[in-house]
A and B are shown apart, each in its own frame.
Chain A
Amino acid sequence: MSWLPIALVAVPLVGAVASAVPAVRDRAVAWGIAVSALVLVLAAALAAVFDHGRPATMQLETDQPWIPGLGLRFHLGVDGVSLPLVVLTALLAFLCFVHLAGHPPAGGRPGALVVTLLVLEVGMIGTFLALDLLLFFVFFEVVLVPMYFVIALWGGAGRRAAAVKFILYTLLGSAVLLIGLLVVRTQAGTLDMVALAGRHGAGITRSAQILAFLAIGLGLAVKTPMWPLHTWLPDAHTEAPTVGSVLLAGVLLKMGSYGYARIAIPVLPEGAAALAPWLGAFAVVGIAYGSLACLAQRDLKRMIAYSSVGHMGFVLLGFASLTPVGLNGALFANVAHGLITGLLFFLAGAVKERYGTTDMVRLGGGMLRRLPYVGSLLTFACVASLGLPGLAGFWGEMLALLGAFRPAAALSRPLFLVFMAVGGLGTVLTAAYFLVMLSRVTHGRAVETIPLGGPLEPPPEPEEPLRPDEPPRPPLATAEGVREVLSEVGEGAEPVEPVATGAAVAALDREDVRQETARAGAAAAGAAGAFGAGAADAAEAGRGRRRFGEVSAYELAAWLPLVALIVLFGLWPKALLAVTTPAVQSLLGSGAPP
Chain B
Amino acid sequence: MTGGTIQSIDYAAVAAPLVLVLVAGLVLLLDAFLPARPGGARALGLVTLGGLAAALAVVAAQAVSGATRRTFCVPASLGGESASGRAAAASCSFVADRFTLVIAAVVLAAGLVVVLLSMTEIAVQRGTGPAERGRIPAGEWYFLLLATLTGAVLLPASRDLIMLVVSLELVSLPVFALTALRRHDGRASEAALKLFLVSVVSTAITLFGVSLLYGVTGSVHLGRIAAALRTAGDTAGDMAQVTAVAVVLVVAGFAFKIAAVPFHFWAADVYRGAPVPIAALLSVVSKASGFAGLILLLTSALAGQAALWAPGVAVVAALTMTAGNVLAMRQRAAVRLLAWSSVAQSGYILAPLAAYAAEPHAAPHAEPRVAVGASVAYLVFYAAMNLIAFSVVTLMARRHADDPGDLSGGGFGSEGDAETGDLEAYRGLVWRSPAAGLSLAFALVCLAGLPPGLAGLFAKIVVFRAVVDGGLGWLAVVVAANTVAGLYYYIAWTARLFAPPAAGESRTVSTRAAAGVAVAVTVAVTVVFSVAPQVVLSVAQ
Contacts and interface: CB of A to CB of B under 8 A. Distances in A.
B465 A70 contact: yes
Contacts of A182: 461, 464-465, 468-469, 476
Given A70-B465, A138-B457, A141-B450, A168 B484 contact: yes
Contacts of B487: 167-168, 171
A532 to B, nearest CB: 16
Given A187-B364, A468-B499, A69 B468 contact: no
Contacts of A527: 431
Nearest to A172: B484
Contacts of A188: 365
B503 interface: yes
B534 A186 contact: no
B483 A171 contact: yes
27 contacts: A68-B538, A69-B540, A69-B541, A123-B451, A137-B461, A145-B450, A145-B451, A152-B495, A168-B487, A171-B450, A172-B480, A175-B479, A176-B477, A178-B461, A178-B464, A178-B480, A182-B461, A182-B468, A185-B465, A186-B468, A187-B365, A189-B364, A189-B365, A468-B499, A468-B500, A469-B499, A526-B506
B536 to A, nearest CB: 8
Contacts of A97: none
A178 B451 CA distance: 14
Contact of B461 (A134, A142, A152): A134
A160 interface: yes
Given A138-B454, A141-B450, A182-B465, A522 B534 contact: no
B363 A186 contact: yes
B29 interface: no
A86 interface: no
Contacts of B462: 69-70
A523 B450 contact: no
B469 A142 contact: no
Given A70-B462, A141-B457, A182-B468, A175 B500 contact: no
A379 to B, nearest CB: 39
A188 B534 CA distance: 22
Contacts of A172: 480-481, 484
Contacts of A164: 488, 491-492
B348 interface: no
Nearest to A20: B434
Contacts of A69: 377, 462, 533-534, 536-538, 540-541
Interface in A143-166: 144-145, 148-149, 152-153, 160, 163-164
B528 interface: no
B177 interface: no
B274 interface: no
Contacts of B481: 172, 175
Q: Which of A149, A153, A182 has the most CB of B within 10 A?
A: A182
Interface of B: 363-366, 377, 431, 445, 450-452, 454, 457-458, 460-462, 464-465, 468-469, 473, 476-477, 479-481, 483-484, 487-488, 491-492, 495, 498-501, 503, 506, 532-534, 536-538, 540-541
Contact of B498 (A141, A144, A149, A187): A149
The 4 closest A-B pairs by CB, nearest first: A69-B537, A189-B365, A175-B480, A182-B468
Contacts of A153: 498
A68 B537 CA distance: 8
A469 B500 CA distance: 6
Nearest to A163: B495
B480 A67 contact: no
A175 B450 CA distance: 11
Interface of A: 66-70, 119, 123, 134, 137-138, 141-142, 144-145, 148-149, 152-153, 160, 163-164, 167-168, 171-172, 175-176, 178-179, 182-183, 185-189, 211, 467-469, 519, 522-523, 526-527
Contacts of A469: 499-500
Contacts of A168: 484, 487-488
Q: Which of B363, B451, B452 has the most CB of A within 10 A?
A: B451
B110 to A, nearest CB: 22
Contacts of B536: 69
Contacts of A141: 450-451, 457
Nearest to A149: B498
A134 B468 CA distance: 14
Nearest to B370: A69
A67 B537 contact: yes
Given A141-B450, A186-B366, A522-B506, A70 B484 contact: no
A376 B480 CA distance: 47
Contact of B534 (A68, A137, A144, A145): A68
A160 B495 contact: yes
Contacts of B499: 468-469
A459 to B, nearest CB: 23
Contacts of A175: 479-481, 483-484
Contact of B480 (A68, A179, A186): A179
Contact of B468 (A123, A183, A523): A183
B465 A67 contact: no
A70 B498 CA distance: 33
B469 to A, nearest CB: 5
Contacts of A160: 495
Given A137-B461, A152-B498, 5 more contacts: A69-B540, A138-B457, A168-B484, A178-B460, A185-B465
A88 B532 CA distance: 31
B437 to A, nearest CB: 12
Contacts of A149: 498
A140 B210 CA distance: 48
A142 B451 contact: yes
Contacts of B503: 519, 523
A179 B483 CA distance: 12
Q: Which of B476, B483, B540 has the most CB of A within 10 A?
A: B476
A138 B491 contact: no
A186 to B, nearest CB: 5
A6 B445 CA distance: 25
A164 B448 CA distance: 14
Contacts of A152: 495, 498
Contact of A138 (B451, B477, B492): B451
Contacts of B365: 185-189
A163 B491 CA distance: 10
Nearest to A527: B431
B450 A67 contact: no
Contacts of A142: 451-452
A3 B222 CA distance: 54
B129 to A, nearest CB: 32
Nearest to A66: B534
B410 to A, nearest CB: 28
Contacts of A148: 491, 495
Contacts of B492: 164
A211 B473 CA distance: 10
A163 B2 CA distance: 70
A179 B451 contact: no
A67 B366 contact: no
